[in-house]
Chain A
Amino acid sequence: MTSGAADRPLTLESAATAFIAWLRRLLRRIPIYAFLILFLLIVALPFISISLAAFKTSAELTRGAFTLPAEWRWSNFSDAWTQAHFDWYFRNSAIVAVPVVAVGTLLSIFSGYAFGLMRFPLSRLLFALFLLGIMVPQEAYIIPLYYLLRGIGLVDTYWAMILPQIGMSVCFGSFWMRGFFSSFPADTLDAARVDGCSIWTALWRVLLPNAGAAISTLVVLLFIWTWNDFLIALVVVSSDTLRTLPLGLAFFQGRYASNVPLMAAGAIIVLLPTLIIYVLFQRQFIQGVTSGTLHG
């Protein structure tokens, strides 16, 4: 391949060619950007409207969804945070979500490893049981679960939200990590075995360093599901002091049906942590994807 204009003397002609080439590259990209931006507008419009609503007064709402507020009312957020107890709810959600995601991810890595790369009797049966956990809707077994938790004295505690949600997380987690491990290039793994890696060191030295994308995806998904869980928290917890954000938000909706701006501010408070987690973790592996492209 020619290595570009630098070798040749700078003439009007070559500058024009370079310009045209640049223009062509640009033009070729316009449809892509147009597509990306248009699509972003379509999918983010509801979010934009709710963000704007969070800064308005109730009266301003009727004037149209995409008009700017006359004055940016940050007080809606502080009202939601303090008056509507979103500070507690936030804390409760964090106390539940962090252990669920951490333990759920770790246990899923272990079980996914076994299911994906080891052969053992009953593995298919055990895996099928985990799949059952993905397939059966929560509404179906929430009442037996409630009685179980009551029987062991956990109703109305954080444990009643944490333990069942770990149980649900490992279902998808095992499924997802098994997919990752089983599609891992066999030759890399064989090479590690030849080098004398044990099962344990193969996991930590060979597999996990390549599992960044799979693990951060799992973390993001488990976090979203746990953070937004409604039904389990509704049924197993009754004290106001243990309510999580989605419960608080639903309660809020009943309570301030007429106060859409406050509701919108509450929604943003619920939504932001998940979005931040996503951005944080996505950067981890997408950098890998794109840097690979650039080097190639």
Chain B
Amino acid sequence: MIDSSREMQRGNRLRALIPYLFVLPAFLIFALFVLLPILDTVRLSFFDWTGFSAPNFAGLANYIELWTDRLFITGLGNNLRFILFYTVFPIGLALVLTAVMTRRRIRGMSLFRAGYFIPYVMPMVVVGVVWRWIYNPAFGPLNQALGAIGLDALARPWLGDFDAALPAVGLIATWVQYGFCMVLFIAGVQKIDESLYDAAQVDGASAMQQLRHITIPGIRTEISVALVTTFIAALRIFDLVFVTTRGGPGDQTMVTSLWLYRNAFQINRVGYAATIAVAQSVLILAISAVLLRFTRTSDQEEVAQ
């Protein structure tokens, strides 16, 4: 009896270890090459450091400076504006595309799908080159097209225009980002039980109703992944701005990551750059936690039902 209960205990203890064994390999590599440098970044945020000289302890000085740093605050405001173009538009667009593409048989579907996904596949350097050309006021097709249909009045030096620059960059973000959401949603639709749609069809539900009552609830997990990920992408946007406007004109498209990059790589203020990173991450963390909590509650509701 004693033996067997010991064995059982040992078995239970081993059983309790199983989840950790599944997580361990991923966690080890992550901990060493991502988590450790991130923790080091937190440490560095309390230092004055060029990145290659001896660091000087600075206490809270960097954080105090951040509070009144005009470029950080401007950047943060622009990050929030970019949410519209990174999260709202792409998710909406991807939902429409998913609805159109998954519920009926369409000739040449793989061509459409591959075509729609191209923007997300393009390297950022290329995105920058192409869109700077599209927006070019001297020979870009956008202003030429506006001219051709008699809308010269709307033509402007898009990326260099103080009012138009942020929406112009934002539209590129939407163009890049919706493909990501689309892929997530199409993957999610596969799990939906086909009989739900059949029943709906029998009931005479319209395509719109099916989207609202079957597809969207069915891919709620994917939508929440898309929501969190694109939202984070909007708050850490860097390369798109770097290859189009570099924050200009003036500071109209300045974002926190660009300011971080300049501090770290151009003006040798790695300590302060770390402070920006910490502040930015805390903010992202807080808002993601709210978003994740929101989606988790709905998971539980489903279980309760």
Contacts and interface: CB of A to CB of B under 8 A. Distances in A.
Direct contact of A and B (CB under 8 A): yes
Interface of A: 32-33, 35-36, 39-40, 43-47, 49-50, 62, 65-66, 107-108, 110-111, 113-115, 118-120, 123, 126, 129-137, 139-145, 147-148, 163-164, 166-168, 170-176, 179-180, 182-183, 199, 212-214, 216-217, 220-221, 224, 228, 230, 245-246, 249-250, 253, 260, 263, 267, 270-271, 274-275, 278-279, 282-283, 285-286, 288-290, 292-296
Nearest to A111: B26
B257 A199 contact: no
A30 to B, nearest CB: 12
Given A140-B273, A148-B37, A293-B105, 12 more contacts: A114-B22, A123-B19, A126-B23, A133-B34, A139-B273, A171-B34, A176-B225, A199-B18, A213-B188, A213-B191, A278-B121, A293-B103
B277 A136 contact: yes
Q: Which 7 A-B pairs have the closest CB atoms?
A: A140-B277, A144-B40, A167-B33, A114-B22, A107-B26, A141-B37, A120-B19
B32 interface: yes
Nearest to A289: B190
B256 to A, nearest CB: 9
Interface stretch (B1-9, B81-89, B126-134, B155-163): B126-134
B36 interface: yes
Contacts of B63: none
B285 interface: yes
Interface stretch (B70-78, B108-116, B146-154, B244-252): B108-116
B39 to A, nearest CB: 8
Instruction: Identify whether the interface residues of B are mostly helix, strand, loop, or mixed.
Output: helix
A111 B22 contact: yes
A43 B116 contact: yes
Using C-beta atoms within 8 Å of the partner chain, give the interface range for chain B. 35 or more
Contacts of A216: 187
B40 to A, nearest CB: 4
Contacts of B134: 46
Given A136-B281, A183-B191, A283-B110, A170 B260 contact: no
Given A275-B118, A290-B109, A163 B29 contact: yes
Contact of B26 (A136, A170, A267, A274): A170
Contacts of A275: 114, 117-118, 121
Contacts, number: 282
Contact of B25 (A110, A143, A263, A271): A110
Interface centre among A50, A139, A168, A171 (most CB of B within 10 A): A139
Contacts of B18: 114, 118, 199
A182 B302 CA distance: 12
A102 B173 CA distance: 28
Contacts of B239: 230
Contacts of A230: 123-125, 239
A294 B26 CA distance: 39
Contacts of B40: 141, 144, 147-148
A143 B139 CA distance: 40
Nearest to A175: B225
Q: Which of B26, B133, B134 has the most CB of A within 10 A?
A: B26
A288 B190 contact: yes
